[in-house]
Structure 1
Amino acid sequence: MTSPTPIVATPSPQAPASPVLAEVVRSGFVEGRHRGSLVVLAADGSVEWSLGDVAAPVFPRSTNKPMQAAAVLRAGLDLAGERLALTAASHSGEPFHLDLVRTMLAEYGLTAEQLQTPPDLPLDPAEAEIYLASGLVRDPLTMNCSGKHTAMLAASALNGWSLDSYLDPEHPLQQLILTGVQEASGEDVAHIGTDGCGAPLMSLSLTGLARAFRYFVGAAPGTPERRVADAMRAHPEYVAGTRRPDTWLMRALPGTLSKMGAEAVQALALPDGRALAFKIDDGATRTLGPILARVLRRMGIDDPVLARIEDVPLLGGAARVGEIRAVF
């Protein structure tokens, strides 16, 4: 009896490995490395420098939220201040976030049951502990995208669009978002997926994402894009939370627009027209602060907030024994 012919798998073509942007250092030993890609735009919008593949499409995750918020304004919903900031938020689930979501739902005659966000705990770990200790359970309103979804429902109701299918990619509001994403980024959306909150997720290159943030900061006053940027910068606690790097940066560096996304995506634009975007391949969000601080220093920013956002300690027992550090 002859032996069967072994089947040899043919490996698929592999893209070149992304450069290492951060290291995990424990007790002086490098125990891990995080690879990714990064782009920095000059004030005129040209690429000043980059690392890795910044032309390939990625899912920007919640860094798309400013563009989603601008589309809600284009649909005719009149939002400003904290309400508009919360529309572009990945909120921490602090009491003031949840109170404003409830207020907005009531203002537009909506109910929490109409939200199609998945039930979740507060995004901030400290808030999640308090929430659970109070005997509460996962809830759609608590999910970090509930402000965005409330505004999407309100804009749909205003226009007589379906509330049941507001997350369908063919829904009129989602088509407005698609147009806005392409206009702000200056490129076509290559892929549409589903985000963690259930909303359509439009892909962009990192260069396109940086261009979009630059577009919002440089937009003319009164335009939807500028209104979103101004609200986010004026009320950063509503965009993130009191213990979040995006909030710290927008408070410390006036005129800066900063937003993180899941799977370790970060985008930022400075008031002088410079912008950046990066993504870590393995999705480790713990790398965002150290990498962002390193990039901003290379861009000539010198502020104590950078030391605050880059400090990501590793613990051994209760003692600090290492850190996450940027290495490019």
Structure 2
Amino acid sequence: MITSQSTPGTTPAHHPAGDPPAVRIPAHAPVAHVERGGLVEGVHHGSVVVLAADGGVDFQLGDIEAAFYPRSALKPLQAVGLLRAGLPPLDDEALALTAASHSGEERHLATARRILHTARLTEDDLRNVPDLPYGAAERDAWLGRGLGPSRLAQNCSGKHAAMLYTARTRGWRLDTYLDAGHPLQWELAAAVEELTGQGIARVTVDGCGAPLFSVSLHGLTRAVARLATAAPDTHEGRVAHAMREHPEMVSGTGRDVARLVGALPGLLAKDGFEGVQVAALPDGRAVGVKIADGADRARMPVTAAALARCGVDPAVLAPFATAPVLGGGKQVGTLRAAGALAAPHAPGPAA
């Protein structure tokens, strides 16, 4: 876990949940092809894990045990950690925003303001990096109003508002809540280790300025499966319920993750920068995806192929299974899962 002596880039000193994953260059494998005019124009490499309902590995490709940074896919675990650390009860929309990479819609900003107001705080107390709204339409509208980067508009503001609320509730310093040695971050690291079942290999700083903990893709996927199967009255179950009920608070209107949750009721899903995606079905079947080059365009087609190996109906996954490759404004090819991931396989239980 993080200790007061830990600094970004160092290895935490104590791992009660188990050994940390190995720090190495991941041995990724081909997971997606970009086809244009009948030729494979590009190949995306990555790693994929598919877990059975009993937690066993049903399928793996690439390197699922190497240490990596989950980026925003870690937020559901951090949300559980905030509840464990003393975050006061929030309604489901606000709790969903705590685990969000939101688009910057007005409802997202209003909910973040509401969390801050309840904690007797304002946007000025946030320490995340100012940014424009993440959603393209929201960003254009924001700029059209002559507005610049804002801490509230930045896609992690819900998490940061909840961090501040927790710190205020516990009587901890507010101005240093993003320091790796802050008691709040120590508590969040402990939750990540317990949920993943492994120690944290490295600590660095995420794009928003918060500490970022490295685990393995296998460990992250195992943790998300735990949330998906948790009893409703647990912290894990509360976070999972809020995210399932309000997927557009976790992402935004029309975002692919929100559409995927809408197509698969009961699915728990979260994306992360640099091509990370996790998703878990209510019975514990789960998938984890990391695209090696960080390309977002390959994330969802690879995730759809992985969910097909969980037994999800391919017809339901069809809108997510490919992405068009354009030439002259028309489709001239397709991005789709490839290699061992796309090989024929026996279907599992239907979702």
Structures share a fold, TM > 0.5?
yes
Q: State the Cα RMSD in Å.
A: 1.5
- The offset of 1:318, in angstroms, is 2.1
Question: Which residue does 1:25 correspond to in 2?
Answer: 35
Are the aligned partners of 1:248 and 1:305 in contact in 2 as well (CA < 8 Å)?
no
Deviation digits for residues 265-295 of structure 1, max 9, x if unmatched? 1111111111111101110011111111111
Query: Within 5 Å, which residues of 2 pair with 1:222-261?
Result: 222-261=233-272
- The offset of 1:18, in angstroms, is 2.0
Distance 1:240 1:16 in 2: 28
Distance 2:247 2:42 in 1: 32
Aligned residue identity for 1:146: S
Distance 1:312 1:86 in 2: 28
Distance 1:219 1:60 in 2: 21
CA 1:95–1:231 in 2, change beyond 3 Å: closer, same or farther? Answer: same
**Unpaired stretches in structure 1, ≥5 consecutive residues:** 1-13
Matched, 1:177 2:188: yes
Question: Which residue does 2:129 correspond to in 1?
Answer: 118
Are the aligned partners of 2:50 and 2:309 in contact in 1 as well (CA < 8 Å)?
no
Aligned residue identity for 1:188: G
317, 323, 326: which one aligns with 2:328:
317
Are the aligned partners of 1:23 and 1:33 in contact in 2 as well (CA < 8 Å)?
yes
24, 29, 44: which one aligns with 1:34:
44
Matched, 1:47 2:47: no
Of 80-89 and 124-133, the range deviating more from structure 2: 124-133
Are the aligned partners of 2:287 and 2:307 in contact in 1 as well (CA < 8 Å)?
no
Aligned residue identity for 2:189: L
Aligned residue identity for 2:257: D
Question: Which residue does 2:151 correspond to in 1?
Answer: 140
Distance 1:311 1:281 in 2: 18
Distance 1:237 1:306 in 2: 19
- The offset of 1:252, in angstroms, is 1.9
Please state whether the residue corresponding to 1:138 is helix, strand or coil: coil
Deviation digits for residues 200-253 of structure 1, max 9, x if unmatched? 111111110111001111222211111101110011110011111211122221
- The offset of 1:176, in angstroms, is 0.9
Matched, 1:63 2:73: yes
Please state whether the residue corresponding to 1:25 is helix, strand or coil: strand
Aligned length: 315
Distance 2:315 2:125 in 1: 43
Of 46-55 and 313-322, the range deviating more from structure 2: 313-322
Question: Which residue does 1:107 correspond to in 2?
Answer: 118
Aligned residue identity for 2:82: V
Max radius of gyration: which structure? 1
Deviation digits for residues 161-201 of structure 1, max 9, x if unmatched? 01111011111111111111011111111111111111111
- The offset of 1:15, in angstroms, is 5.5
Distance 1:133 1:25 in 2: 37
- The offset of 1:315, in angstroms, is 2.2
Please state whether the residue corresponding to 1:312 is helix, strand or coil: strand
Question: Which residue does 2:4 correspond to in 1?
Answer: none
Are the aligned partners of 2:81 and 2:192 in contact in 1 as well (CA < 8 Å)?
no
Are the aligned partners of 2:79 and 2:99 in contact in 1 as well (CA < 8 Å)?
yes
Aligned residue identity for 2:291: I
Question: Which residue does 1:5 correspond to in 2?
Answer: none
71, 83, 108: which one aligns with 1:73:
83
Please state whether the residue corresponding to 2:48 is helix, strand or coil: strand
Please state whether the residue corresponding to 2:332 is helix, strand or coil: strand
Are the aligned partners of 1:93 and 1:123 in contact in 2 as well (CA < 8 Å)?
yes
Distance 2:334 2:165 in 1: 44
61, 84, 91: which one aligns with 2:102:
91
- The offset of 1:27, in angstroms, is 2.5
Identity value in percent: 51
Of 22-31 and 32-41, the range deviating more from structure 2: 22-31
Deviation digits for residues 28-82 of structure 1, max 9, x if unmatched? 2222111011111111111111001111111001111011111211122212310
Query: Within 5 Å, which residues of 2 pair with 1:265-304?
Result: 265-302=276-313, 304=315
Aligned residue identity for 2:151: P
- The offset of 1:108, in angstroms, is 1.7
Are the aligned partners of 1:249 and 1:305 in contact in 2 as well (CA < 8 Å)?
no
